[in-house]
Amino acid sequence: MAARTAVTQSEYVARRLLANSATGAISALKALAQEYPYQSSDFRPFEAVISFIRDLPPPQPTQSSHSAAMVQALACLGVVERVGVALNPGHPCFEAFLVMMKGEWPFMLAWLTFSLEHSVNFVLTEHIAVPPILTIARFLAKYSPPPAFASPVGGWDATVDLAFRIWSRNVHETKQLEEVTEAMLSFWGKCLDVEGEAKNTVLDHFQEPTTAQSFFKSYAALLMVRSQDTSPQGVLYTFQLQGFYMRLLRHLSRLPNWRNIWRWTIKKGIFKAYTASIFILLSGPVYVDRSMLAGLGNLILLAEKDAEGILSKIVRISLEDLAPLLYECLHTPERDTRNYAARLLLSSDQDARAAQQAIFQHLRRLEAYLPYPCVSRAVAISLQRHFANRPQLPSHMLVKEWSLFRSALTFSALSHTKEEEYYLFACDNLNRSGLRTAVLHQAKIQCLGGHALIAERFSTAPHSAKGRIGILSIDMSALVLLICDRVSGSNYF
């Protein structure tokens, strides 16, 4: 007779917990989730609870029945999550686990949705010590996005819709849970990273006016609130919010409805909130890579995705303090960064130079639109407003690229103010024929000799936009260049 294989203590505990969980009692399911000796190749806990998940939620539950059903469902989902935690993505059993999850996903999704709907005013108990919305958000973010699921049974609509409902519920809570926010951003980010149905479904939701505007409004409010926390952890959280927003806009800018989406972002104040949050980070004790903070400059490229109304978009970006933001990113000094806790996302002098070059690119991109009066006026207004209550550095302390930008802005402002006079003068309509050719020639030499770089940058700046918005309507003749000799002595901005 063959000898019996001895049962280890661990296996004995596992069998006892599995047997107890078959009753469906909350205490037994909780014990299974917390005390079971999970191993990467052991799917028995999954199989033990899946029968309860397959029983769909009651269609018209009473107050007591829906609470009991939700608690049981969350306990079962907690067991499934523990099975997944025990698996390493590189383990041979991981693919088998994903196949099982995909087959049961419609049932899990039904219970996740049911639990979210009936978790309002839910009181935490000894059996459910974690807010249901947090459990739901974690589960959705961890197990549903691609590449785990190429396409869940029933498609992506219901899964993505649940994510937006979780977001909406959380932002309307008296006390928002950061982990829920992070889980939803992770879910959307993973969907956007992989081409396919998941990404398309997420982007479709952002093309729906009510959904998109509600999201942008709540996101703007969240940015303003979270940016007040200037601790290292708070700064990193705010930075993640900013990064996801710019990442989302890059995807949305490729959509046919981009023009309307742009309007919705402006209407709900997210540009203003984004800029305000960056100014808070710049003045805080934690040093963050300036090129990352200056990412708002990328909006110029996104504005050019839609050929109609480019100038109006650039004006809007300018009025939201893009130029002051770039100025501060270039000139705000580092705080004490000897302690790593006070330094984020910047590791070397080489990184610092790369960050500065990225800001220069944003500055040149904006400078290309300065010859257009509506843009230069908007930039001037934003700078005047910014420096109304704070000192500006003296000229000798300014970064060279900013000095050139300021000169181009001054040149633009002067030329717009005098363009009619100079244009008519060039046409000899003001009867000023007494001006000698020698004086004109000398003025041109002074201008080009003293400010050749400024004149060159101004005359060529609009050509980066040529083909989209045309070229300057006023001929920049030698007569217009007469104003150049006033640039060096002016300090308008």
User: In the chain, pLDDT over 70 holds for what percent of residues?
Assistant: 73
| CA-based nearest residue to 489, from 395, 388, 393 | 395
- Tokens, residue 315: 């004006």
Residue pLDDT, tens place only, 395-423: 888 889 999 999 999 888 776 655 545 54
311 lies in the same domain as 237? yes
Name the CA radius of gyration of the chain, rounded. 31
Amino acid 18: pLDDT: 94
260 lies in the same domain as 362? yes
pLDDT over 50 (residue 214): yes
Task: Assess if residue 77 is contained within a domain.
Answer: yes
Give dist(CA 30, CA 38) in Å, integer: 14
Give dist(CA 165, CA 154) in Å, integer: 18
Domain-terminating residue out of 129, 156, 191: 129
Task: Assess if residue 391 is contained within a domain.
Answer: no
Domain-terminating residue out of 129, 158, 190: 129
> How sure is the predictor about 143, in pLDDT bands with cuts at 50, 70 and 90?
confident
Task: Assess if residue 138 is contained within a domain.
Answer: yes
* Single-letter residue type at 110: A
Which residues constitute the domain of residue 181? 131-206
Domain-terminating residue out of 129, 147, 172: 129
229 lies in the same domain as 344? yes
460 lies in the same domain as 354? no
Task: Report CA-CA distances (Å) from 136 to 52, 55, 116, 400, 407.
Answer: 17, 18, 7, 52, 55
122 lies in the same domain as 225? no
Number of domains comprising the chain: 4
241 lies in the same domain as 306? yes
Amino acid 466: pLDDT: 37
- Of 3-7, 161-165, 458-462, least confident by mean pLDDT is 458-462
123 lies in the same domain as 138? no
Task: Assess if residue 372 is contained within a domain.
Answer: no
- Of 58-72, 356-370, 470-484, least confident by mean pLDDT is 470-484
Average pLDDT over residues 32-50: 91
Task: Assess if residue 170 is contained within a domain.
Answer: yes
Task: Assess if residue 397 is contained within a domain.
Answer: no
Q: What are residue 288's DSSP bridge partners?
A: 344
User: What is the rounded average pLDDT for all residues in the chain?
Assistant: 77
